[in-house]
Amino acid sequence: MNAHASSLPRRQSHLDVYLRVLSALMLRDMRSRFGGTYWGYLVQVLWPCVHLGIIVGAMTFRGIKSPMGDDSMVFVASGALPALAFQYISREVMKGYLVHKPLTYFPQVKRFDTVVARILVEIVSSFLGVCLVGVVLICFGADPVPTDMMMAITGYLTAIALGIGVGTINVGICSVFPGWALGYILVTLTLYLTSGVYFMACYMPDEIYYYMKWNPITQLIEWVRLGYDPTIPAQIDYLYLFGWVFGSLTIGLLMERYVVRAQQ
């Protein structure tokens, strides 16, 4: 009797099933990028390096000096990486929900599972991108290590957290208005161009700087840059930023509970 019982397959718990669903969604997510292969996933990881090279090349061609320190690559990277982390996560979480929506017809797959899987993939992609940019900077003779490591890391993590919060809100909006996926591209492009990636917002006139600080991406960029140069006159409202992070995440989860599930 005991021998027969031990030969029976172990019944999977709900956690085992959930983890297998997440891993399957993550692998499918990685393979669905740029041509349906894992090599396509590397394109997304490499894109921050390409982005950095284009901007630095344009600054060098036009003879523009770095307004922070002597290295243009470090200046651009300290602004572009947190901005791109927010932009990619907040956008890709929404796209992941739309791409994986047909899979929710399987009883094991819930719509929120597709959101969690895409968030995990984007977090891994963000950190891989940061590591790759750091390697590239070292190869070109730049020093990517910030003066205040904790300041730079916490600023970058806050950018990721804000991207997750806004991404969950986008999922709620897209569940009702799928066309928002295109409209949000214009929103992120506007935020990116005006957030201070290519310039120092804190050196703008006080009247302009006051209104720029209402953009949380501007303050996140300056937060990271304070880790590289603590002497810049940046004014970070940490309470305002954490209000954005927790407020957007709360609204996004409420929308998932009362809007997204209502569409099922």
SS3 assignment for the chain: CHHHHHHCCCCCCHHHHHHHHHHHHHHHHHHCCCCCCHHHHHHHHHHHHHHHHHHHHHHHHHCCCCCCCCCHHHHHHHHHHHHHHHHHHHHHHHHHHHHCHHHHHCCCCCHHHHHHHHHHHHHHHHHHHHHHHHHHHHHCCCCCCCCCHHHHHHHHHHHHHHHHHHHHHHHHHHHHCCCHHHHHHHHHHHHHHHCCCCCCHHHCCHHHHHHHCCCHHHHHHHHHHHHHCCCCCCCCCHHHHHHHHHHHHHHHHHHHHHHHHHHC
Burial 220-240 (b: 16+ CB within 10 A, else e): bbbbbbbbbbeebebebeeee
Positive or negative torsion for Cα 96, 100, 101, 107: negative
pLDDT, position 111: 75
Mean pLDDT for the chain overall: 82
Per-domain residue ranges of the chain: 14-259
Q: Could you tell me if 242 and 99 are in contact, meaning their C-beta atoms sit under 8 angstroms apart?
A: no
Q: Could you tell me if 169 and 251 are in contact, meaning their C-beta atoms sit under 8 angstroms apart?
A: yes
Q: Give CA–CA dist 225/217, Å, rounded.
A: 12
Q: What is the mean pLDDT of residues 74-101?
A: 85
Q: Could you tell me if 163 and 245 are in contact, meaning their C-beta atoms sit under 8 angstroms apart?
A: no
Q: Could you tell me if 29 and 117 are in contact, meaning their C-beta atoms sit under 8 angstroms apart?
A: yes
Q: Give CA–CA dist 179/174, Å, rounded.
A: 7
pLDDT confidence tier of residue 150, bands split at 50, 70 and 90? very high
Q: What is the mean pLDDT of residues 56-83?
A: 79
Residue % of the chain over a pLDDT of 70? 82
Q: What is the mean pLDDT of residues 49-69?
A: 74
pLDDT, position 8: 46
Q: Could you tell me if 64 and 214 are in contact, meaning their C-beta atoms sit under 8 angstroms apart?
A: no
Q: What are the pLDDT digits (tens) for 156-181?
A: 999 999 999 999 999 888 888 888 88
pLDDT, position 237: 93
Please, which residues have CB within 8 angstroms of residue 236's CB and are 6 or more apart in sequence? 219, 222, 223, 226
pLDDT confidence tier of residue 22, bands split at 50, 70 and 90? confident
Rounded to the nearest 5 degrees, what angle is found at the Cα of 218, between the Cα atoms of 155 and 45? Answer: 60
pLDDT, position 160: 94
